[in-house]
Amino acid sequence: MRAGGGGLMGLDGRTLLQFGASYPPYIFGAGQWWRLLTAGFLHGGLMHILFNSWALMDVGSHAEQIYGTPRMSSIYLLSTMGGFGASAIFTGSLSVGASAGLLGLIGAMIAYGMVNHGLEASMVKQFYVRWLVYILLMGCCRFSTSTTRRTSGGWRRASSSAGWRGHRISTAASATRCGRR
């Protein structure tokens, strides 16, 4: 699987490019728009995929309970494409990972908490705002411009598709999906 200088904990850029990493010259110059989606399923190494898998398992299961599988999947995929699109436009660098999709789900959960009222919605919003702060701090500590661009692209896509159009998700409907009724 290695094409160059990657090690056990990481893959090199050439290998990631061959498998579909987001890279602006290929996206805009060669018209390979599919890279906006495939990059979200590639990871730079073992730790990258382990942390993203853990986060997706945690955030994704809760978002699926609130929104249902089709809507959660749509939010995740659209956020992934929006985040990598923003990254391609603003950074010009190669990028991979599930950060854009994850941040889109987090944005959707914050939107749920802001659009709906009640104790449950307020707790959901507070919980995911903390997630957002932690992720942004980690991105700043690594000085990762690409992560910041994917984050803002995923957040914007999710907040527009998850609830800012005036759609309210009733707490009763989410409780039914969660098996509490």
For residue 16, the surrounding DSSP H or E stretch is: helix 13-19
Model pLDDT, residue 138: 77
Q: Is residue 25 a contact partner of residue 67, using CB atoms and an 8 Å limit? A: no
Q: How many structural domains does the chain have? A: 1
pLDDT at 181 over 80: no
User: Range of 67's domain?
Assistant: 37-167
For residue 47, the surrounding DSSP H or E stretch is: helix 46-67
- Examine residue 100 and state whether it is found in any structural domain, yes or no: yes
- Examine residue 77 and state whether it is found in any structural domain, yes or no: yes
- Segment 80-94 shows an average pLDDT of 93
Q: Is residue 128 a contact partner of residue 106, using CB atoms and an 8 Å limit? A: yes
* Side-chain half-sphere CA neighbours of 148 within 13 A: 10
Neighbours of 136 (CB within 10 A): 16
Would residue 20 be called left, alpha or beta, if left means φ above 0 and alpha means ψ between -120 and 50 degrees?
A: left
Q: Is residue 154 a contact partner of residue 87, using CB atoms and an 8 Å limit? A: no
- Segment 28-54 shows an average pLDDT of 93
- Examine residue 18 and state whether it is found in any structural domain, yes or no: no
- Segment 175-179 shows an average pLDDT of 38
- Segment 48-71 shows an average pLDDT of 93
- Examine residue 81 and state whether it is found in any structural domain, yes or no: yes
- Examine residue 16 and state whether it is found in any structural domain, yes or no: no
| CATH number of the domain within which 162 lies | 1.20.1540.10
List, for residues 43-58, the tens digit of each pLDDT value. Answer: 988 888 998 999 999 9
C-alpha span between 163 and 11 (Å, rounded): 37
- Examine residue 106 and state whether it is found in any structural domain, yes or no: yes
Residue 64 or residue 141, greater confidence: 64
Model pLDDT, residue 11: 81
- Any idea which of 66-80, 110-124, 137-151 has the lowest mean pLDDT? 137-151
The pTM score is 0.74
- Examine residue 133 and state whether it is found in any structural domain, yes or no: yes
- Examine residue 14 and state whether it is found in any structural domain, yes or no: no
